[in-house]
Amino acid sequence: MKAKQPNGKPAIKSEDSLNWQRARLVGKYSERYIGTLEVRWLKLDKFRFQTDQYMITGDIKRKKANINVEVYGNVTGSWKVNSPDNMYQDGQWRPWLTEGNFLIGASTKISVIVTFIFDMPDVDKRIQVKELFII
């Protein structure tokens, strides 16, 4: 039986024998509202960027948080993905498996921008995390 994500799509296979670089990006809006996303990337003929899992804390009754991810090479190339409007904010690690394959040319760095949008009863709160990585 093949592994599947909660949305029914097949899970992304990992090539553990390859030299993936990994990062954990954390955005803190307040002591109560914190978003964490684990990602990894690999530079081969194309640049591969994957989201792996997330954890969002906040109002555990609300299940409509969002995570938006943008990745840019410092010379060329980019990839963006937005989560569905159903991310939990219950403080539990949950899978969110996405993958982008794109050309980055002679880029030696990537910028990763993650926006966590916390589901609130009135206006949603958001925090943006920006990180620069040498690849």
Pick from 131, 80, 93, 126: nearest CA to 110: 131
CATH class held by domain 22-134: mainly beta
| Confidence at residue 8, expressed as pLDDT on a 0 to 100 scale | 61
pLDDT tens figures, 93-132:
999 999 999 999 999 999 999 999 999 999 999 999 999 9
The stretch 70-92 carries a mean pLDDT of 96
Neighbour count for residue 78 (Cβ, 10 Å):
13
pLDDT tens figures, 50-62:
999 999 999 988 8
C-alpha span between 11 and 86 (Å, rounded): 18
pLDDT tens figures, 22-50:
999 999 999 999 999 999 999 988 999 99
Q: What are the angstrom distances between the C-alpha of 61 and each of 54, 95, 110, 116, 121? A: 17, 19, 36, 17, 10
Q: Taking the model in full, what pTM does it have?
A: 0.86
pLDDT band at 72 (very low <50, low <70, confident <90, very high): very high
C-alpha span between 32 and 69 (Å, rounded): 22
The stretch 71-86 carries a mean pLDDT of 96
